[in-house]
Chains A and B, each alone.
Chain A
């Protein structure tokens, strides 16, 4: 039987987080009373004209640079013409043949830690539409509805479209790719990238071909996926459907298919024959964009460590596991905190343990992000240093961390001020050991009778007696000697 592989390309729309909308001064804000954030421009009143938002243009350029895309010296806006009630001008200002960014590669990783690459075709800038609510049609669609309401608050919000090459081979890779986009855009601060809120929307072009073939099969475009999970499920379902069609002697037809979350299947929306002729042409209301090379170079030089580079560094240099590395990379501020800590001498694995363990737990409990807490990364590095030099033991370290969280300050100072340094001096530890043995004759008898598991209790008592300062390993050794 023929083995098939999937060939997948992703197109996604990302709402940019700018102060104002793409072509007018209205605030770019999610929510609000319907039609509260509108003006003559984004309502397309007669005579109103668009003026391009420079902040949005720079954000797309930064997104392009993050993936090593080429930023052409010259770009322009085009009109994509089609009628729809929530699109006020009945054309969308978009970019057709001269996008702001061309090419580039998205490197991403899978759960097992392997890294993959997917080429980008382009990244361009356009404007979002309003939102329609259709009443009386049962399924919420415009067909057969009795009336519709339109909210134009979202109309004109800057939208960045990223189009990938068909380099993706599975649902898992598709999600890995989307995760990489998400992480990168969050880190660049260009978008919230929340699929559930609609600030990330994506379509997948799926086709299959016999393994080993270099040809591209006929693709179906899958829409209406509203979470990474549904992207994964939809792609798997579509691959299975196409294989079944071909196995039954049929042919896959080029069409747009909608993902049905409840049914867990895709269904045909429209065929290629029904495709729009968008009549693209350069928007005469907007002047072409000449991209200043010095601006591009400045943006490039300001580009921070990207998620994939971080991930590889965390894995390679510090030996972190995939889960820990991913967890850090997923929250850029946390990763920066971690980096600062490591930079200040707090060894990688220990720093990761503290940041993702105790500190994250405290952050959860107190609803304060780690990077805004009173524990400075340098203080954490100092704490790790104290543990590594065996100046304090791990129990004291935990207590200290809590106090640093609550009040702040250098752990070294706390240790010195309160005499918390671990005691490894056999003489003083021996004193504590003798006191404990004298105080618990029954336990000593139990031990001698063979119940060696009381050793833990005795070490604990030594720790207690020494107010945590005794080196527990040394205490154990001395106890064992004395009980001989």
Chain B
């Protein structure tokens, strides 16, 4: 592997801006790394050799012309639910297997405009529904730390690509934990900004009121750098928030003095087994050592998070995914009449998890059930927001596990409910729209395995507290350096 691929995004950008290395050279190194490892790893559904070289050439020309680009030459993996003009954009689904996007998502465009180079479209659970990437209809992605295990999901391809040095930044989307959980599984920093911070225009919707784009990176600094570029109001997305973005990359801290970190009673770790329990206790102590004050807080409604989420998200998805009907684009399976055509197209085009959620959502919105399910779930959602608001009166950040276990083996979670439980810690935060991230916090040995697997510490902040959140995560990361202790041997 070329040494360039082990550089951070910040360092790549610095060197490309300084003319020490060209974007083209970095891009070639990334493409070589992809060709070397991705047949085994499966992080990408589409490799973008040609587009990447053209983009790199453009970046080099801009640098030569005297521009300074915050992400100059940084190879980026784009999750395959984000449109990038001229590239296949599949959502990991047979429904869109051959669909080429004619336009580019705002967040992707902002990254590219800042000098990033798209090297591939990354695998994902179909329509972002899943926590392991196993729901992709188009390919299998392995965890770079153990090829027999899942990379997490739904942004598993982006996570695996960044962990295996096939990109420096991964673009992910997080609805109930889809950035944070794969980040935890792949020893990365995965950051979900406040809902509305990053434009969703061009992100193929799963659940519109929850979906949020964010970066996956090998350091907090890199995540902050990418976030600073992609955040901000977009006139094409009414739900994007018109509020100044506090630059995060230049406000990183090295201590936590004066920061009150809430430990949530309902997010206890005893149930996760002694090894995991002690790992998180150590992580909380490390926060304290950095100067933070630990305070106990309560989120009385947290236990209803999953139930609420699995009504709202499917309800929205049942409507969002209606457009995949075979009429205008994507898969079409002919039938005797239009109704039969719809049925066959959707029966063949969608995988079982997508169908399950469409059915749940359709049911929840049906007349006679709407008040009992959808309306009640929305009320619960308001309560989560109020709960967090109350908790944040006593603390500045909330710390918890990012996932309830390390990466598991393929086919280990065969029933949907145990898979849904993976997102127990991330979902309430998503429902409240809060910014949160996962930062590496050590390793545990999964049962019957000799390969230690990474774990993630989740930190969450009040709405729009991105800069403070990233600053604190940086302090923890710099002091502990967990990610540096092991390399993704499985992939290298």
Contact = CB atoms under 8 A, between A and B. Distances in A.
A414 interface: no
Contacts of B239: 49, 284-287
Contact of A83 (B91, B205, B207, B342): B342
B316 interface: yes
A89 B323 contact: yes
Contacts of A40: 102-103
Interface string A28-48: 000000000000100111111
**Chain A: interface secondary structure?**
loop
B367 interface: yes
Interface in B328-379: 328-329, 337-338, 342, 362, 365-367, 370, 374
Contact of B322 (A85, A91, A285, A286): A91
A90 B322 contact: yes
Nearest to A77: B238
B44 to A, nearest CB: 19
A281 B208 contact: no
A45 B374 contact: no
A279 B366 contact: yes
Interface stretch (B65-73, B157-165, B195-203, B251-259): B195-203
B309 to A, nearest CB: 14
B238 A285 contact: yes
Contact of B200 (A49, A150, A279, A281): A49
Interface string B372-405: 0010000000000000000000000000000000
A81 interface: yes
A50 B238 contact: yes
A300 to B, nearest CB: 27
A51 interface: yes
A49 B203 CA distance: 9
B203 A279 contact: no
A130 to B, nearest CB: 10
B99 interface: yes
Contact of B367 (A79, A279, A284, A287): A279
Contacts of B207: 284
Interface residues of B, number: 45
Contact of B103 (A45, A50, A150): A45
A51 B242 CA distance: 14
Interface string B82-125: 11000001010000100101110100000000000000000000
B209 A284 contact: yes
A138 B83 CA distance: 41
A84 B235 CA distance: 29
B2 interface: no
Given A40-B103, A46-B204, A281 B370 contact: yes
Contact of B238 (A49, A144, A279): A49
Contacts of A50: 238
B266 interface: no
Interface string B416-430: 000000000000000
Nearest to A279: B365
A296 B225 CA distance: 44
B238 A51 contact: yes
Contacts of B82: 47
B316 A47 contact: no
Given A284-B239, A285-B208, A47 B323 contact: no
A287 B195 CA distance: 13
B319 interface: yes
Contact of A88 (B200, B235, B323, B367): B323
A91 B319 CA distance: 7
Nearest to A86: B327
A285 B101 CA distance: 20
B237 interface: yes
Contacts of A51: 235-238
B201 A49 contact: yes
Interface residues of A, number: 32
B315 interface: yes
B319 A79 contact: yes
A51 B208 CA distance: 14
B355 to A, nearest CB: 16
A199 B227 CA distance: 46
B134 interface: no
A49 B236 contact: yes
B181 interface: no
Given A46-B91, A46-B96, A89-B323, A277 B367 contact: yes
B91 to A, nearest CB: 7
A142 interface: yes
A287 B238 CA distance: 6
Contacts of A410: none
A150 B319 CA distance: 21
A264 to B, nearest CB: 31
A90 B323 contact: yes
Contact of B204 (A47, A85, A150): A47
A88 B374 CA distance: 25
Nearest to B199: A49
B466 interface: no
B238 A284 contact: no
Interface in B223-248: 235-239
B325 A83 contact: yes
A40 B85 CA distance: 12
A143 B209 CA distance: 37
A52 interface: yes
A41 to B, nearest CB: 8
A284 B238 CA distance: 10
B420 to A, nearest CB: 21
Interface in B261-292: none
Interface string B308-323: 0000000110110011
Which of A47, A150, A279 gathers the greatest number of chain B CB atoms within 10 Å? Answer: A47
Contacts of A89: 322-323
A349 interface: no
A148 interface: yes
Contact of A277 (B81, B236, B337, B366): B366
Contacts of B329: 45-46
A148 B341 CA distance: 13
A144 B342 CA distance: 16
Contact of B327 (A52, A150, A287): A150
The interface centre, meaning the residue of B83, B337, B338 with most chain A CB atoms within 10 A of its CB, is B338
Nearest to B90: A46
A8 to B, nearest CB: 27
Contact of B208 (A45, A148, A284): A284
A51 B234 CA distance: 11
Given A277-B366, A279-B319, A284-B316, A46 B342 contact: no
Nearest to B82: A47
A296 to B, nearest CB: 21
A46 B83 contact: yes
Contacts of B91: 46
A285 B239 CA distance: 6
A286 B238 contact: yes
B236 A148 contact: no
Contacts of A91: 319, 322
A47 B237 CA distance: 11
Interface in A1-51: 40, 43-51
Interface of B: 81-83, 89, 91, 96, 99, 101-103, 105, 200-205, 207-209, 235-239, 315-316, 318-319, 322-325, 327-329, 337-338, 342, 362, 365-367, 370, 374
Given A83-B322, A279-B365, 16 more contacts: A40-B103, A45-B101, A46-B91, A46-B99, A47-B83, A47-B204, A49-B237, A51-B237, A81-B319, A83-B325, A143-B337, A150-B327, A279-B367, A281-B365, A284-B209, A287-B238
7 contacts: A45-B83, A46-B99, A46-B204, A46-B323, A51-B236, A81-B365, A88-B323
Nearest first, the 4 closest Cβ-Cβ pairs linking A and B are: A90-B322, A284-B209, A284-B208, A279-B365
